[in-house]
Structure 1
């Protein structure tokens, strides 16, 4: 860290005793005491899964420590040395990380909601070529930065004003309401990042990649965006054809579609929403949308709960964060659709039987379902070939006969017996 503060070295056994008393304190049990570990040397020690919320670790050395899954909410880590530590899945809600060094630390999937990361610098590409994020002390030079991984981290409401985040990878990070005033994000990767309501006033985002990022409600006053790749980014402007271009009010068209479905095409009219930006639509929940034609539609964050969408065509649609809980999606086409963080809990994505020899199965080949909720969903015979189900919650989902050829399941929540029921996966 480059300072002369004395650090008190303790053993794993001594640390376990301190943490045990802290956990007793957290549970209001007799004999408990808050952990005060200021200026302690905890290099390489194991705190994985432990509860250290509200502990004071000011100035402590946690290099190469295991903090995976630890609860560090409201923890004081001011000026702490956390280089090369394992913080995967850790919770750091409202943690004070001002001036802390996170070089080489792994924060994959960490929760940093409302964390304070000011007064440091986030940056640079590591020597192995990977994109990482760092908080470095003021005398560090960009040449020797060894950053921390922050893939898919939640940085909502975090304070990053003035931070230097050049070449940093924020892919798919959730950054709702994040303070990025005057932040240096040159050449950063923000693909798919959720930046709703983020304050990027005066930020330097030149050369950054914002492909598919969500910038609705973001403050972009004096933001420098020269050379930034905004392909597929969602802003406050319609990303497709606006609702105002519909020939009739959407609610009326939904009713006419229900008549069309109920009369087998003899009355009403089919609903064609191809390429429309449907953000803000409020009449689709519980609606009859069977055979809906909406490839490429923007349905980001839309409430579609309990809708009937059998055999619908939503190929390539943007359904990130959408509510599809309890939907009837049998035989639907969601090829290459974006479903990150969508709620599909209890949805039926099984197949429809046409006759004794033919079925129509749900098509999700190439779909992106990172962090999607599929708890209790019926996924019988679904085609997930090449789909990205990383960190998706598949607990209690019925996966019998599903095709997972080439699918990505890193961090997904499911049981081994579920995997044994699917096709295309080789179990170790």
Structure 2
């Protein structure tokens, strides 16, 4: 006799009331109240229903159908979505830290700003419990994780596992993919504009026709990757971008600059680092670099905490992933600068007094500030005209007389009261 062929899985259709009851019991379990029970939606059809804002950490969605579900801002850390159908679901700003998404379909899903730290999106095989055989395979072939056309713009996918995923034409713009595993992933025509892929493993990945403009590829593994017709304009790699700092008399220039400041310009001279690659410095923490000229220079990843750069010329500079906490950038010119993912908590970006009756506002016109943290920063009179402040944090910042004309504020926090 031949082995019995797999039978189609039957799905239990739930109503919104059913879902609300299950979620309420799960919440009771998490708050250690009586009547609590873990949320189990395994092989249930909950298409089109809403669980927005719920706490469903550790919930079981194995093989479930969540087509078009509303999961905005839902807490789904460590949840099991093994083989789930999540096509067209709205998971914007949801937390999916360490979630199991192996074999799941995210085709056309909205994951804008989602936190998917260490999430697992590798291929998987769908199985179901069987009394005699334990687990039996429902689908005989390995099922790839599908995220074709998904919107993962600004999502945190650091250290996530996406090897073998099919994410053609997906939007990963400004996403954090540091140390992510993307081995043999199908990423044809995907948008990675501005994404941070530092340390990511892209071995054997298919990126034909993809947009990799302005990406960070520092330390990335790219063996046997396919980049036919791929746009790599402005991508930051391990190769020096511009003049390497090792080719410049750095220590002497810093000493000359400090002497120029201390003597009011009588001795020394101002340093000029225009178009220089300063990454090898690793730290300029607390340095006095007032009026420094570093137009289009690369500072990526530097420790710049407490640095004094009042009135600095930083137009077009790459300051992504920098530590700029408590830095003094009053009156600095940051027009078109990249500050994606930088720590700017408690930074001074207010006006610089240059005469008794004249002040110089900080200029961030057209700057890219996506995912930057400006908590408690002083941004009085700062010009952010046309800046991209998507998902940036301005909580507790001083925003008096700030100019946000034409700025992109999608998902930004702390700007609700600014017209």
Q: In 1, distance between residues paired with 2:304 and 2:361?
A: 20
Compared CA separation, residues 17 and 171, structure 1 to 2 (3 A): same
Aligned ranges 1:72-151 → 2 under 5 Å: 72-119=76-123, 147-151=149-153
SS at match of 2:280: coil
Q: In 1, distance between residues paired with 2:155 and 2:288?
A: 36
Question: How much has 1:345 moved relative to structure 2?
Answer: 1.3
SS at match of 1:354: strand
Question: How much has 1:234 moved relative to structure 2?
Answer: 0.9
Using the size of structure 1 for normalisation, the TM-score is 0.87
Aligned-CA RMSD value:
2.4
Question: How much has 1:343 moved relative to structure 2?
Answer: 1.4
Compared CA separation, residues 236 and 62, structure 1 to 2 (3 A): same
Compared CA separation, residues 286 and 222, structure 1 to 2 (3 A): same
Q: Of 190, 197, 200, which residue of structure 1 is paired with 2:199?
A: 197
Hey, what does 2:351 align to over in structure 1?
351
Q: In 2, distance between residues paired with 1:163 and 1:42?
A: 24
Corresponding residue pairs, total: 398
* 2:174–2:192 contact (8 Å) kept in structure 1: yes
The answer for unaligned runs of 5 or more in structure 1 is 121-136, 420-426
Aligned ranges 1:250-289 → 2 under 5 Å: 252-289=252-289
Q: In 1, distance between residues paired with 2:196 and 2:398?
A: 30
1:27 aligned onto 2:7: no
Question: How much has 1:367 moved relative to structure 2?
Answer: 0.7
Q: Of 44, 47, 53, which residue of structure 2 is paired with 1:49?
A: 53
Compared CA separation, residues 15 and 340, structure 1 to 2 (3 A): same
Q: In 2, distance between residues paired with 1:26 and 1:297?
A: 49
Q: Deviations over 1:57-103 (max 9, x none)?
A: 11112122211111111111112121221111111112111222222
Q: Of 28, 37, 40, which residue of structure 2 is paired with 1:36?
A: 40
Hey, what does 2:168 align to over in structure 1?
166
Q: In 2, distance between residues paired with 1:245 and 1:146?
A: 45
Compared CA separation, residues 273 and 201, structure 1 to 2 (3 A): same
Question: How much has 1:202 moved relative to structure 2?
Answer: 1.4
Hey, what does 1:6 align to over in structure 2?
10
Q: In 1, distance between residues paired with 2:404 and 2:158?
A: 32
Q: In 2, distance between residues paired with 1:165 and 1:60?
A: 20
SS at match of 1:218: coil
* 2:147–2:168 contact (8 Å) kept in structure 1: no
Q: In 2, distance between residues paired with 1:145 and 1:389?
A: 26
Using the size of structure 2 for normalisation, the TM-score is 0.89
